[in-house]
A and B are shown apart, each in its own frame.
Chain A
Amino acid sequence: MSMDDRDQHDPNEPDVSRRQFLRGLSGSLAASAVLATGVEAVPLSPPSPPEPLEPPLAVGPRIKGQVKVRLNVNGQVKTATVEPRTTLLNTLRDDLGLTGAKRICDRGSCGGCTVIADGETIYSCMMLAVDAQGKKITTVEGLGTPEAMSPLQAAFVDHDALMCGFCTPGFVMSCTSLLKHNPDPTETEVKEACAGNICRCGTYPRIFEAVLAAAKRMRGE
Chain B
Amino acid sequence: MKAFELVNPTDVSGAVSALTAAGREGKLLAGGIDLLSEMKEYIATPSIVVNLKAVSGLNKIESSAKGLKIGALVTLSDIAKHPTIAAKYTALAEAAESVASPQIRHVGTLGGNLCQRPRCWYYRDEHVICLKKGGSKCYAIEGENEYHAILGGGPSYIVHPSDCAPALMVLGASVDISGPKGNRTVSLDKFFILPTENLYKENVLEVGEIVTHITVPAPAAGTTSHYLKIRHKESMDWALSGAAVALTAKAGKVTSAKVVLSGVAPVPWRSPEAEKALIGKQVTTAIADRAGAAAVAKAKPLGGNAYKVPLTRNVVRLAVLHAAGVKG
Contacts and interface: CB of A to CB of B under 8 A. Distances in A.
B102 A174 contact: yes
A193 B102 contact: yes
A161 B207 CA distance: 50
B6 A126 contact: no
A63 interface: yes
Interface in B240-284: none
B214 to A, nearest CB: 22
A62 B6 contact: yes
Given A121-B106, A126-B36, A131-B32, A63 B3 contact: no
Interface string B84-123: 0000000000000000111110110000000000000000
Interface string B192-226: 00000000000000000000000000000000000
B4 interface: yes
A108 B49 contact: no
A48 interface: no
A85 interface: yes
Nearest to B10: A61
A113 to B, nearest CB: 9
Given A126-B32, A126-B33, A127-B32, A84 B4 contact: yes
B133 interface: no
A196 interface: yes
Interface residues of B, number: 29
B256 to A, nearest CB: 33
A14 to B, nearest CB: 13
Contacts of A107: 37, 40
B101 A12 contact: no
A87 B1 CA distance: 10
Interface in A95-121: 106-109, 111, 114, 117, 120-121
B128 interface: no
A84 B37 CA distance: 15
Contact of B236 (A65, A114, A196): A196
A111 B101 contact: yes
B103 A60 contact: no
Interface in A114-150: 114, 117, 120-123, 126-128, 130-131
Interface in A1-49: 4, 6-7, 10-13
Given A6-B42, A84-B49, A108-B37, 4 more contacts: A4-B40, A61-B7, A85-B2, A108-B33
